């Protein structure tokens, strides 16, 4: 649970040190005028990229060769200091930084604008130039993240937080370090978009086999771009740079003063959001006069910026000049505080960059691979880290590594794992009835999960009250990529029609493939796209007498195979035999007698009489599928390559053949479908788009039954599980086809663009939804729907209206409440 809380917070990174042969170690501390430590100050040798950074207590160390050196020391909010020293005579120093003193010349503003606006306009005009002027380069990045639990309740949802806190090394008040991790990476960059990272080393407190969550890729925070997404989930919209093309529409500016550093005139400008609840920064940005470059930033995001979970996120970034008038980050730091459900957490992520090379030899296709983690990256010993770590550990962090390593060794012992399992595996009858029961064996990395009887109950007019009970066994076979062997089973009994069904299945990895085997019998929806979830059908039937779901019984057996080819081409194949049996209603029960009149038969085309929709039949079907998302980017791990989602739509083609004669199969048809889909297409500040287009044809339809038809996902209830491909006003069963078909769905999420401007609504963070749906078959000509509404989390309220050429279908409208279950 703590890990999932931590994972919602910021992830970015920090810096690395360059060392010389025959060098000496310089140690020191950075303090302010009051003698207090200045955390995370940048220390680097003048005219080089040899440098380091101070830790959270202002202490640093740096390897330098013998001779005279000039160190430049910078920290946001302080004047830069140039420190002369001689190595090896000087091996320990203390440097004092003075609070920045920016002089503001006398300017008579009157009714005119602040001088900051002229500077910002220059910076905006030069933005694109600075974004694209950087040549390809490589650099070394050291990244350190520390997160601390500041507050936690004693109990949470029945769990003993005190016990968990003790197990992970927190103090008696349930506070302390919960995440401490370091990593080193070598990055190769071809601006603005090509990025490759190779992790050199990784250290994670409490897990010497795990990899750090820190990624240099998460540090790609570029204020020369118009928008910065920063972290997925932090805000529904990206944040507007203070020098974006349209920044003057979002910010007010105030010149706080100027100063001289290294022969440059630096302007300190206060950035002030014009409106609340917009994705905007506040704080200070430092602009170099005449070149109009960013010298540094000290910005904050707060609840007023409509961020989620976090209360505040502070961003400090500094730049250094390199060769050929190029400037690159020397360091970046994120500080954050936030809370959720009684828990409060704070911490930082810091990164230090060094060893820049502006003339790298870049291999062909280098940027197809975005991340490489090789064997042994997480095996570096303490001596290696003592020599290569630029951000020294504090005493607390050193103790945390020691304590967590000790805890890990103890927790990996069979005795400890058995004792934990003994407590966790205690059977609690009430908990089992409500939520099920899970038995774990951590030492052997397997678990057995049983469904809760209360959540396994459902009701429909065919089976009456039914128990649909499942169990699952999972054995982890790959700890790095979390690949598992799974065995699952289900037993189902209808108390009204007295029919029992059950099935077993398994899925398992084999090399780079995944195989599945399954067989048994089950009760299925006639619409294989799903008419409505069983829970919704249970409520609709028992409370209102609207038994919309129609089902049948099938016995089946089959196998499946999936494999990913190079270039992220995914192929799949399956073969399945079925025996399909239509079932009649066995009950007309509802909670209120008056609602029985609404109960219809299990034949959607003859609602007043239970006549069979089809005769009992058999089918043997073979399916082949291939999909490609037009992307070649991937990540490489010690034993596997993982392809990343592309910015392009995914194209899928599937062919299904019903083969007659095999195992008594009656089916004889050929169905070819093609699908083009993409979700979450970013539109910057204006939200995101999603679309799904599916077209198909029955090449042969000599013999097929209703369950083989092409079905469409409709809606008839007020509350439904709305997906992108869900029609909001279409019947579940009436318009299925055995001919050509085209369906298209599109949705535009404005991501609070409008509601953030309404004072009473902005705190709710309501997202505006606009959608269109289209269907064309031989039976339904050019049917369409339009909808609009609001969404909060997974709940949405939508108004929908139909239109098109079909007289019986157009002109309908309804309110729909969408509750997305998955």
Rounded (5°) CA angle 155-156-161: 55
Q: Tell me the angle at which helices 395-412 and 414-424 cross, rounded to the nearest 10 degrees.
A: 80
What is the pLDDT confidence band of residue 108, given thresholds at 50, 70 and 90? very low
The side-by-side arrangement of strands in the sheet containing 81-87 is 51-53, 42-45, 67-74, 81-87
Q: Which of 137-151, 272-286, 409-423, 718-732 has the lowest mean pLDDT?
A: 409-423
**Mean of pLDDT values over 344-357:** 90
CA separation (Å) from 520 to 61, 465, 489, 578, 809? 67, 21, 9, 10, 39
Sequence-ordered strand ranges (E) for 191-281: 194-204, 227-228, 239-240, 251-261, 264-273
Question: 81: which residues sit within 8 A by CB, 6+ positions away?
Answer: 72, 73, 95, 96, 97, 98
The span from the CA of 753 to the CA of 799, in Å, is: 19
Asked if pLDDT for residue 612 goes beyond 80, the answer is: yes
Q: Which of 95-104, 547-556, 807-816 has the lowest mean pLDDT?
A: 95-104
The span from the CA of 70 to the CA of 662, in Å, is: 84
pLDDT in tens, 382-430: 888 888 888 888 888 888 888 887 777 776 677 767 777 777 788 888 8
The span from the CA of 628 to the CA of 505, in Å, is: 28
Asked if pLDDT for residue 13 goes beyond 50, the answer is: no
- Can you give the pLDDT at residue 212? 56
pLDDT in tens, 498-540: 999 999 999 999 888 999 999 999 999 999 998 888 999 999 9
- Can you give the pLDDT at residue 721? 87
Long-range pairs for 483-488 at CB < 8 Å and ≥24 separation? 483/509, 484/509, 485/509
What is the pLDDT confidence band of residue 9, given thresholds at 50, 70 and 90? very low
Q: Which of 19-28, 500-509, 538-547, 717-726 has the lowest mean pLDDT?
A: 19-28
- Can you give the pLDDT at residue 427? 86
Asked if pLDDT for residue 215 goes beyond 70, the answer is: yes
**What is the percent of the chain where pLDDT is above 70?**
94
Asked if pLDDT for residue 202 goes beyond 50, the answer is: yes
Domain boundaries, the chain: 116-391, 445-682, 712-822
680-719 core/surface letters (b: 16 or more CB in 10 A; e: else): eeeeebebbbbbbbbebbbeebeebbbbbbbbbbbbbbee
Query: The whole model's pTM is what?
Result: 0.84
- Can you give the pLDDT at residue 430? 87
- Can you give the pLDDT at residue 210? 47
What is the pLDDT confidence band of residue 92, given thresholds at 50, 70 and 90? confident
- Can you give the pLDDT at residue 608? 93
The span from the CA of 717 to the CA of 735, in Å, is: 17
The span from the CA of 34 to the CA of 21, in Å, is: 37
Q: Is there a contact between 179 and 225 (Cβ–Cβ < 8 Å)?
A: no
CA separation (Å) from 473 to 196, 467, 480, 505? 38, 20, 20, 11
Asked if pLDDT for residue 706 goes beyond 60, the answer is: yes
- Can you give the pLDDT at residue 12? 27
pLDDT in tens, 22-81: 578 888 899 999 999 998 888 888 877 778 888 889 998 888 888 888 888 988 888 888
Rounded (5°) CA angle 623-628-631: 160
Asked if pLDDT for residue 363 goes beyond 50, the answer is: yes
């Amino acid at each position: 649970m703590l890990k999932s809380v931590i994972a919602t917070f910021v992830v970015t990174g920090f810096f690395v040190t360059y060392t010389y042969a025959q060098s000496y170690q310089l140690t020191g501390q950075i303090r302010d005028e009051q003698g207090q430590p200045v955390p995370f100050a940048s220390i680097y040798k003048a005219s080089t990229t040899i440098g380091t950074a101070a830790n959270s207590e202002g202490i640093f160390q740096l390897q330098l060769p013998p001779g005279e050196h000039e160190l430049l020391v910078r920290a946001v909010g302080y004047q830069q200091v140039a420190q002369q020293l001689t190595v090896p005579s000087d091996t320990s120093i203390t440097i004092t930084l003075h609070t920045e003193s920016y002089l503001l010349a006398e300017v008579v503003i009157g009714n005119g604008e602040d001088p900051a606006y002229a500077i910002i306009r220059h910076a905006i005009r030069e933005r694109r130039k600075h974004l694209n002027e950087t040549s390809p380069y490589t650099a070394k990045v050291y990244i350190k993240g520390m997160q601390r639990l500041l507050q936690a309740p004693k109990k949470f949802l029945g769990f003993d937080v005190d016990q968990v806190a003790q197990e992970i090394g927190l103090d008696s008040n349930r506070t302390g370090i919960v995440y401490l991790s370091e990593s080193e990476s070598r990055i190769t960059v071809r601006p603005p978009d090509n990025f490759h990272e190779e992790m050199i080393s990784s250290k994670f407190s409490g897990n010497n086999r795990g990899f750090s969550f820190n990624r240099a890729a998460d540090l790609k925070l570029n204020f020369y771009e118009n928008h910065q997404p920063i972290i997925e989930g932090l805000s529904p919209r990206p944040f507007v740079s203070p020098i974006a093309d349209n920044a003057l529409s979002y910010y007010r500016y105030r010149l706080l003063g100027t100063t001289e550093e290294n022969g440059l005139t630096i302007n300190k400008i206060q950035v002030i959001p014009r409106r609340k609840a917009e994705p905007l920064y506040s704080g200070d940005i430092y602009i170099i006069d005449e070149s109009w470059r960013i010298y540094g930033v000290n910005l904050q995001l707060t609840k007023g910026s409509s961020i989620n979970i976090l209360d505040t996120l502070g961003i400090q970034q500094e730049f250094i000049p390199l060769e050929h008038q190029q400037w690159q980050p020397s360091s970046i730091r994120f500080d954050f505080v936030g809370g959720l459900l009684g828990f409060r957490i704070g911490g930082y992520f810091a990164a230090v960059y060094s060893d820049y090379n502006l003339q790298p030899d870049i291999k062909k296709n280098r940027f197809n691979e975005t991340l490489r983690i090789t064997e042994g990256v997480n095996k570096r010993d303490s001596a290696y880290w003592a020599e290569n770590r630029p951000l020294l550990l504090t005493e607390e962090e050193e103790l945390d590594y020691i304590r967590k390593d000790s805890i890990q060794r103890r927790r990996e012992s069979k005795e400890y794992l058995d004792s934990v399992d003994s407590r966790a595996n205690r059977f609690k009858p009430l908990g089992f009835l409500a939520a099920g029961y899970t038995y774990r064996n951590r030492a052997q990395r397997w678990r057995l999960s049983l469904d809760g009887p209360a959540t396994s109950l459902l009701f429909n007019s065919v089976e009456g009250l039914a128990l649909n009970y499942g169990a699952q066994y999972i054995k982890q076979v790959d700890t790095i990529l979390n690949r598992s062997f799974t065995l699952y089973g289900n037993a189902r009994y209808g108390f009204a029609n007295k029919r029992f069904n059950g099935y077993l299945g398994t899925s398992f990895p084999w090399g780079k493939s995944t195989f599945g085997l399954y067989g048994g019998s089950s009760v299925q929806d006639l619409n294989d796209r799903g008419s409505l979830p069983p829970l919704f059908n249970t409520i609709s039937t028992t409370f209102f007498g609207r038994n919309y779901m129609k089902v049948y019984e099938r016995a089946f057996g089959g196998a499946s195979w999936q494999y990913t080819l190079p270039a992220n081409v995914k192929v799949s194949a399956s073969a399945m035999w079925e025996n399909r049996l239509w079932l009649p209603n066995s009950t007309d029960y509802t909670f209120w007698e008056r609602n029985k009149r609404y109960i219809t038969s299990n034949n959607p085309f003859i609602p007043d009489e239970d006549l069979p929709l089809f005769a009992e039949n058999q089918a043997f079907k073979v399916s082949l599928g291939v999909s490609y998302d037009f992307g070649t980017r991937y990540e490489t791990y010690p034993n596997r390559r993982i392809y990343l989602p592309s910015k392009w739509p995914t194209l899928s083609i599937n062919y299904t053949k019903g083969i007659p004669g095999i195992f008594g199969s009656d089916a004889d048809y050929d169905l070819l479908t093609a699908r083009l889909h993409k979700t979450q297409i970013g539109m910057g500040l204006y939200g995101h788009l999603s679309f799904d287009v599916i077209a198909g044809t029955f090449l042969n339809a000599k013999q097929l039954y209703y369950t083989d038809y092409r079905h469409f996902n409709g809606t008839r209830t007020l509350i439904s599980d709305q997906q992108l491909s869900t029609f909001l006003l279409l019947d579940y069963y009436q318009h299925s086809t055995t001919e050509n078909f085209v369906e298209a769905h599109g949705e535009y999420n404005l991501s609070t663009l409008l509601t953030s401007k309404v004072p009473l609504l902005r705190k709710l963070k309501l997202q505006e939804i606009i959608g269109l749906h289209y269907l064309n078959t031989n039976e339904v000509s050019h049917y369409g729907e339009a909808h609009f509404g609001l969404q909060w989390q997974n709940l949405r309220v939508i108004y929908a209206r139909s239109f098109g050429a079909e007289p019986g279908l157009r002109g309908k409208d309804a309110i729909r409440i969408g509750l997305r279950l998955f």
